Amino acid sequence: MSGEELVDAIEAASGRHAGKRRAHATGIVATGTFTATPAAAGLCTAGAMQGGAVPATVRFSNGSGNPATRDDDQDGRGIAMKLRAEGDPAWDLIGLSLPQFFVRTPEDFVAFVAARTPDPATGELDMAKVGAFLEAHPEALGAAGAAITAPIPASYAEVRFHGIHSFHWTGPDGTRRAVRYEWAPDAGEAAVDPAATGRPPDHLRQELAELLAAGSASFALWVVLAGEGDAIDDPTERWPDERERVEVGQLELTSIGAPDAEASLIFDPVNVPPGVECSDDPLLAARSRAYGVSYARRTAGD
Ligand code: HEM
């Protein structure tokens, strides 16, 4: 399935908003460093995992493709992190606040987005269409349940993010392991009181700007190592909680990005350095095609 078809499907659901990302339309960019732990170099030969401080650019976002949505709407949140280790191509690591995804193929993504397209007459979700999709796709129930019950975060720096897809890491001894990423906020997780009103529509963006003006925000990056029989190429399947986890680095954010940084940036999940390979998950390649189309449209002013 082409990137155009995927992006056209999203536009049909959330509208076409000139200059904006077709998904995750609202967000904020922050900059800082990533410093790998000593354990990381034993698992992965990528430059960013060797221990020195590496420049990091991060964009936090809300999942909707409609830029008119509010920061306290019920929505998934995103993290997109670009690491620029000297001598390596840029490495993009991307995650969501959900621990698993809704679909496992690009075709199902289009069907899922169509089922969630609001009824043009009422502007509301058609719950019969959503229900029919979930009945035909029980693998989507985990992500759907997590999305409906997710608390509204108090801060982008207080969200746990999950990379969802698997990647293969190769260590200095040639051992190749399937891993998934997780970002754990050092400040812990915190939610707003859903009953409290009066928050500004951009409360998460304002809060991060205030936090970084006064200090910093940080996350520990973990990798979860695949165990026997774990689904490597299926982002709808979670791995058991008891899988071995290794803390591989610390992300420290100290400043908000320059105002034009957001528009010119693109994060693509297939941008990986030597030492890291994409799994055969068909969504990874599909996402790359869709992100390229979204980037081309938004930077052309469409
Ligand atoms: C086939 C499935 C998917 C499609 C078609 C899709 C589509 C898109 C598109 C078109 C964008 C805007 C890209 C840009 O203009 O730069 C985007 C952004 C994003 N997507 Fe996806 N996506 C998919 C799955 C996922 C998954 C599984 C994750 C989680 C790992 C994810 C996380 C994100 C994040 C965090 C952003 C914001 C990136 C930024 O801040 O620039 N997406 N997606």
CA distance 52 to 9: 42
State if residue 76 touches ligand 1 by the CB under 6 angstroms criterion: no
Q: Tens digit of pLDDT for each residue in 3-59? A: 999 999 999 999 999 999 999 999 999 999 999 999 999 999 999 999 999 999 999
Q: Which residues make beta-bridge pairs with 177? A: 169
Does the CB atom of residue 22 touch ligand 1 within 6 A?
yes
Q: Which of 179, 287, 298, 299 to mutate to test the pocket of ligand 1 (most atoms within 8 A of CB)?
A: 287
In short, whether 290's Cβ falls inside 6 Å of ligand 1 is yes
Element (H, E) at 171: none
Active site annotation includes 24: yes
| 156 in contact with ligand 1, CB cutoff 6 A | no
78 Cα to the center of ligand 1, angstroms = 8
Q: State whether the beta carbon of 56 lies less than 6 angstroms from ligand 1.
A: no
| Ligand 1 pocket check for 212: Cβ under 6 Å | no
Q: What's the first-to-final CA gap in the chain, in angstroms?
A: 22
| Res 121: pLDDT | 83
CA–centroid distance, 65 to ligand 1, in Å, is: 10
Residue 18: the pLDDT is 96
Distance CA 291, CA 147 (A): 22
pLDDT in tens, 262-288: 999 999 999 999 999 999 999 999 999
Catalytic member of 24, 137, 162, 203: 24
**178 has pLDDT over 90:** yes
pLDDT tens-place string over residues 70-82: 999 999 999 999 9
Among 1, 11, 24, 294, the mutation site with the greatest number of ligand 1 atoms within 8 A of its Cβ is: 24
* Average pLDDT score, the chain: 96
pTM of the model: 0.97
CB 14 within 8 A of CB 64: yes
**DSSP bridge pairs for 82:** 57, 92
Q: Is 164 in the pocket of ligand 1 (CB under 6 A)?
A: yes
> pLDDT tens digits for 189-217?
999 988 888 899 999 999 999 999 999 99
CA 189 / ligand 1 centre spacing (Å): 23
Q: Residue 124's pLDDT is what?
A: 84
pLDDT tens digits along 82-133: 999 999 999 999 999 999 999 999 999 999 999 998 888 888 888 999 999 9
Span from the CA of 152 to the centroid of ligand 1 (angstroms): 20
Which H/E stretch holds residue 176? strand 176-185
Atom of ligand 1 nearest to the CA of 20: 15
| Greatest alpha-carbon span in the chain | 60
Looking at residue 131, its pLDDT comes to 95
In this structure, what are the phi and psi dihedrals at residue 35, rounded to the nearest 5 degrees?
A: -125, 120
Q: What's the rounded Cα separation, in Å, for the pair 235 and 239?
A: 10
The neighbouring-strand residues paired with 78 are 61, 96
How far does the centroid of ligand 1 lie from the alpha carbon of residue 291, in Å? 7
CA 193 to chain centre: 24
Q: Report the distance separating Cα 241 and Cα 260, nearest Å.
A: 40
**Amino acid 119: pLDDT:** 84
What's the pLDDT tens digit per position in 214-263? 999 999 999 999 999 999 999 999 999 999 999 999 999 999 998 788 99
**What is the predicted pLDDT for the residue at 195?**
83
What's 173's DSSP letter?
A: T
